[in-house]
Amino acid sequence: MLASTSQLLRDAQKEKYAIGAFNVYDLQGVQAVIRAAEALKSPVMLQIHPKALEMGGTPLVALCVEAARSAGVAVSVHLDHSSAEQDIRSALEAGMSSVMADGSHLSYAENISFTKRMAKLAHTKGCAVEAELGRLSGTEDGLTVAEYEALLTDPDLAVDFIQQTGVDALAVCIGNVHGKYASEPKLDFGRLEEIGKRINLPLVLHGTSGLPDEMITRSIELGVCKFNVNTEVRGAYMTAAKKYLDDTKKPELTDMMTTVISAMQAQVESKIKLFGSSGKA
Ligand SMILES: [Zn+2]
């Protein structure tokens, strides 16, 4: 059933597990996530990146919302990383459960004003808002320690930010990066602990692909209730499609669809188990 993101995150926070928010681009991705969630009786989030929204438009949103409605487990639909007010408005009108209002590229004051406005808008529709404080980088190469730390979430500022904006969940920057980790991931758990102590909101970690299992578990202990997963599931899709085409003499489109769905489903299931949300739907 179509679920409220706030409710999913609050339940996860209470019981110390995390919800997987999986980026989807098409029907195969949606089916893989829903099948994995149903197989493990887990709540889950279908997440649409602005790039996917640009390609799929409102038909992609309608697909996700309908798949969530007809699922046998609680599923919410979330717009990922949007800094465009128009996209946020359309997402909410199209029936999505929550949005990430991303003002992290703005100055602190502008980030507050943008996020506060988007939170008000979402709340009038009964939807939730995630925001990010700090900036996720691709690499720390070439930065001084001070420059690098300036990109991470400041625990004191986090308190001020959530008070001023009224957001429902906060994405933290503690050394996590989008895409592939160029070197061994290093997460600042001391900083995460400080943030968790000061604010009582569900915390979100982006850039989950490639993090060792023990870092995921530690993050959940320290208050992370939502993990964004994109790269690994996309990778499973493309690897499976390539292998199918390389290995099959007479390829059939429907066979290839079945193959890629299974490959993505396996990835999603392994994440759900790691996040501890199995049996929580
Ligand atoms: Zn992200």
Residue 98 belongs to a domain with what CATH number? Answer: 3.20.20.70
Does some domain include residue 80?
yes
The predicted pLDDT at position 97 comes to 96
pLDDT average per 10 residues of sequence, the chain (281 residues): 97 98 98 98 97 93 97 98 93 94 91 96 96 74 68 93 97 90 89 96 93 96 97 96 98 98 98 98 92
Residue 75 · residue 45 · CB < 8 Å: yes
- Which is it for the CA torsion 85, 177, 212, 15, positive or negative? negative
The predicted pLDDT at position 105 comes to 86
**AA identity, residue 214:** E
Q: Which domain holds residue 256?
A: 5-275
Number of domains composing the chain: 1
The predicted pLDDT at position 139 comes to 53
Does some domain include residue 281?
no
Centre of ligand 1 from the C-alpha of residue 59, in Å: 23
The predicted pLDDT at position 183 comes to 82
Task: Please identify which residue in the block is written with the tokens 């197989």.
Answer: 39
Does some domain include residue 280?
no
Which residues are tagged catalytic?
A: 80
Does some domain include residue 270?
yes
Centre of ligand 1 from the C-alpha of residue 65, in Å: 21
| Cβ-based neighbours of 9, under 8 Å, separated by 6 or more | 19, 128, 168, 169, 202, 225, 226
Q: What predicted TM-score, i.e. pTM, was given to this entire model?
A: 0.94
The predicted pLDDT at position 138 comes to 57
Centre of ligand 1 from the C-alpha of residue 239, in Å: 23
Residue 77 · residue 48 · CB < 8 Å: yes
